[in-house]
Amino acid sequence: MRSLFFSGLFIFMVSLFLGYPVLPGLDEAKGPQAPTGLRCEYLVNPLGVDTLKPRFSWVLEHGERGQGQSSYEILVSTQPNAEEGDLWASGKVDSTDSTQVVYAGKPLQSGSSYYWKVRYWDRDGRQSPFSQVARFDTGLFSRADWKGKWIGGKNQLRKEFELGKKALRARAYVCGLGYSELRLNGHKVGRNVLDPAWTTYDKRALYVTYDVTGYLQTGPNAVAAMLGQGWFKATVLLVQINIELEGGEKLEVVSDASWKGMDGPVVANSVYNGETYDARLETPGWDRAGYDDGQWSAAEVVAGPKGVLSAQMMPAIQVVDTIVPLKMASPEPGVYVFDMGQNFSGWAQLRVRGQRGTAVKLRFAEMVYDNGMINQENLRGARAEDVYILKGEGEEVWEPRFTYHGFRYVELSGYPGVPAVNGVRGRVVHTAVEPVGSFACSKPVLNSLQRIIIWGQKTNLHSTPTDCCQRDERMGWMGDAQGTAEEAIYNFDMAAFYANFLRDIRDVQDEKGTITDTVPHIWGSRPADPAWGTAYPLIAWYFYQYYGDRRVLEDYYDGIKKYVEFLRTRAENDLVKFSYYGDWVAVDRTPGDIVSSFYYYYDVKVLAEMAKVLGKEADAKAYGDLASAIKTAFHREYFDPKTRSYANGTQTANTLPLFLDLVPEKMRGSVWGSLFDNIVYKNNSHLTTGIIGTKYIMELLTNNGSSDLAYDIATQTTYPSWGYMIENGATSLWELWQLRQGPSMNSHNHPMFGSVGSWLYKALAGINLAPESTGFEKIRIVPQMVRDLRYAAGSTRTVRGEVSSSWSRDDRTVRLEVVIPVGSEAEVVIPGFNLENVVIKEGDQAVWNGQGYKAGIQGIRSIEKAQAGFLIKVGSGRYAFKLQGD
């Protein structure tokens, strides 16, 4: 007792001395800790929650291994301390659910702030402290809550208003199409750019909610907005600021005919072509109170978009990073070309001094010619050109608002004098999803691959998952989206993003059930190519699997069923053969119809699974039967006994049926043989697949004992391979395996071949969902320790917390460290490499001593010798295993 007291005192003194927070008591440190990572509808402190039944998620923390939640208690309150739970005091609920717990309190009000916190009881019934308090704000629930009118006519709009008292709470709700920048008292509100997210405007437009309390002042105020064309290709604005003053008075400032407007300095703007800004047309002070707008015209009340208004409930597009150029060259007199060293989406910030009226032109490109001039040929119809006209007042710093480019190089012309290398800075702009993953290993080419995947992925999140960010497309091409979804989920927190995208997909669905190649729909066809349309069922299904979100299935089941029923109307003898793109941009072409039939099967099967989860027995049976029929038809139609291959025997043609188990048992061996021959002998362990085959082939090989071959493929550096892109200077993924730089289709920032990113996590780091499990409640850690790979490490933050796996090895030792979230459990497989007299330790303690398992170590449930190595079952916690043998 006494020594405990003294060591406690000692720790206390040391932490005081070092300035650390005082450590909790020893017993407390071992037990359940306050939950962290509080999320409401996938966001931390979201604004504008427009559902009446939001859902809550939290991450459990515990000082012991093998722990989890047995009960929870949530308090939701109108008060910032959330002490009372005046809206919802859930009471102690016996449940292991710690994600997506549905609000069940008193009805939530429109436009209000709520506070919540949670605690839990562990498996031994010990209670955790309460979490910190998190906030969520409801949006405007109904159209009637919007008091303002859509206004337009001009692109720069303003209005002054008076506040008699201090504002205690103020929220601005704004939908300014195509893009808008809201300003209050001289400041841009918030950090969003290119806002709001692009939608099918006839169906839906998104409003953004800002906490603007801090922008307001007692006395006169000014609200203003700048509008850009965006994808709406017109400019309209709807704003409402709800303000609560000291003393309880409430008022609303809304857009209406009393606003004033003029066309400001942004004289032209277009997503593809760029922006022209004439600084001479600036009207200083226009966004502050007291400005004389006598010359301005009255704003016009206009018709808004036809769709409903919904809250933007995902991260906005923001300037996420700033890049200093690597170097500057002057390939021609007066022309300066900056190399940013990285291909990305965004724009350049310009710094310039010069005479009033001087026009500086900025042009953007992914490539340069041998002579150093920029090569814009592959941008096709996108002009990608910004112009800044100086006002001539000292140093001028400018960046555009209503366009973005995909580029590595920036060309400046018309610049007065010689720019400094930092005369231009790269502004990296994309939907600000949080990175949640990391991967690194001992093979440099794979680390470069991870790097170009990350750049390709994040810079193609522009409120929709875009195909590219430079040429005249930048569309939510659904094939690209479905192919990269798992990779994106391992690397970024995609929950809110895909929740939004699924709704976007539903918005394009028509009466017949058809959806479109791109969402929102501009490019491509209706109905979508089945390999593109499959994004609807597959992204919903990945969402359910990775985030454990059942509501997504409930919400989209009917739509997905309708889509599948549409496909069925196009089926002949249980196969769907129409196809436009098929295994897109392959080296060896695969007939499109086999790809479409594969997805018809996949969609039906996934629908049957969804029906099972939702307890729709009849549908589960009916679609299960349909899937079996398609399976039979598929083999009958496409299998060629002479070649022991499907269709024309390409890698993709054999990969697809193997991947979904469409090959009858007795033929499997020979189809494998054909696939193997094709990869190894015909193509020297290179892929010849397009985006569809590539998505499945690596995983297929890995799950069937050929991870060595998958690794050979992944580490190639000759054509066609990812390494070939890297050897040729790729800083983001290319659209094609080929190196092309002409006017044809060859984007140098196209994420679709990045589907291999999930393989890095699943195979090399070994992080997998256990079959049948969702939301990482059950995990399988099965690292592939292949060939010359000496170590690999991956981690990904899941809805339950961090999962990580890192291993290293030498001749007789394998070390593996894993982290399993509280409330989850895992099967961990450590390969035994045919070593003898194996001893496994966890930390300092032996857990396997040659013969068997030594019980009694916290969190470790069992160890067995299995075919792939040693199978260790563990509960939550961090484990450091070391396997040693002779």
- DSSP secondary structure letter of residue 477: B
Q: How many CB atoms lie within 10 A of CB 114?
A: 25
Tokens describing residue 97: 């659910």
Using CA atoms, how far apart are residues 555 and 345, in angstroms rounded to an integer? 33
CB 612 within 8 A of CB 764: no
Tokens describing residue 96: 């292991």
| Nearest CB to ligand RAM, comparing residues 581 and 672 | 581
| Nearest CB to ligand RAM, comparing residues 448 and 484 | 484
| Nearest CB to ligand RAM, comparing residues 159 and 748 | 748
Tell whether the torsion through CA atoms of 7, 8, 13 and 16 is positive or negative.
Answer: positive
| Nearest CB to ligand RAM, comparing residues 385 and 480 | 480
β-pair partners for 848: 840, 853
Using CA atoms, how far apart are residues 246 and 35, in angstroms rounded to an integer? 34
| Nearest CB to ligand RAM, comparing residues 389 and 691 | 691
Q: 482 vs 542, 577, 768, 801, CA distance in Å?
A: 9, 20, 19, 25
Q: How far is the CB of 345 from ligand RAM (least distance, A)?
A: 14
Find tokens 């292991």 and name the residue.
96
Q: Please indicate whether residue 825 is annotated as part of the active site.
A: no
Using CA atoms, how far apart are residues 462 and 406, in angstroms rounded to an integer? 12
| Nearest CB to ligand RAM, comparing residues 400 and 533 | 533
Using CA atoms, how far apart are residues 293 and 97, in angstroms rounded to an integer? 57
| Nearest CB to ligand RAM, comparing residues 480 and 603 | 480
Find tokens 């998505």 and name the residue.
695
Three-state secondary structure readout of 98-130: CCCEECCCCCCCCCCEEEEEEEEEECCCCECCC
Q: Which one of 399, 486, 487, 735 is the catalytic residue?
A: 735
Q: What is the DSSP string of 357-404?
A: T-EEEEEEESEE-TTS-EE-GGGTT---EEEEE---SSSEEE--SS--
Using CA atoms, how far apart are residues 805 and 781, in angstroms rounded to an integer? 7
| Nearest CB to ligand RAM, comparing residues 38 and 687 | 687
Query: H/E element holding 34?
Result: strand 32-40
| Nearest CB to ligand RAM, comparing residues 584 and 807 | 584
Q: How far is the CB of 507 from ligand RAM (least distance, A)?
A: 19
> Angle formed by the axes of helices 592-613 and 617-638, to 10°?
160
Query: H/E element holding 535?
Result: helix 535-547
CB 866 within 8 A of CB 872: no
Q: How far is the CB of 603 from ligand RAM (least distance, A)?
A: 18
| Nearest CB to ligand RAM, comparing residues 466 and 784 | 466
Using CA atoms, how far apart are residues 565 and 559, in angstroms rounded to an integer? 10
Tokens describing residue 38: 């509080």
Q: How far is the CB of 731 from ligand RAM (least distance, A)?
A: 19
Q: Please indicate whether residue 802 is annotated as part of the active site.
A: no
Q: How far is the CB of 477 from ligand RAM (least distance, A)?
A: 4
Amino acid letter, residue 9: L
Q: How far is the CB of 591 from ligand RAM (least distance, A)?
A: 16
Q: How far is the CB of 481 from ligand RAM (least distance, A)?
A: 9
Q: How far is the CB of 523 from ligand RAM (least distance, A)?
A: 7
**Residue 455 CB partners (closer than 8 Å, separation 6+):** 342, 343, 344, 731, 732, 733, 749
Q: How far is the CB of 344 from ligand RAM (least distance, A)?
A: 17
Q: How far is the CB of 463 from ligand RAM (least distance, A)?
A: 17
Strand 335-352 relative to strand 396-398: parallel, antiparallel, unpaired? antiparallel
Q: Which one of 473, 825, 827, 842 is the catalytic residue?
A: 473
| Nearest CB to ligand RAM, comparing residues 118 and 475 | 475
Find tokens 């409330």 and name the residue.
823
Tokens describing residue 755: 């589907």
| Nearest CB to ligand RAM, comparing residues 120 and 753 | 753
User: How far out from the chain centre does Cα 850 lie?
Assistant: 45
β-pair partners for 336: 412
- For residues 634-648, one letter each, b for 16 or more C-beta atoms within 10 angstroms of the residue's C-beta and e for the rest, the string is beebbbeeeebbbbb
Q: How far is the CB of 406 from ligand RAM (least distance, A)?
A: 12
Residues that bind ligand RAM (CB under 6 A): 467-468, 473, 477, 479-480, 581, 584, 752
Q: How far is the CB of 480 from ligand RAM (least distance, A)?
A: 5
Tokens describing residue 254: 């809304």
Length of the chain measured in residues: 886
Q: 493 vs 433, 744, 749, 751, CA distance in Å?
A: 6, 34, 21, 17
Q: Which amino acids are annotated catalytic?
A: 473, 735
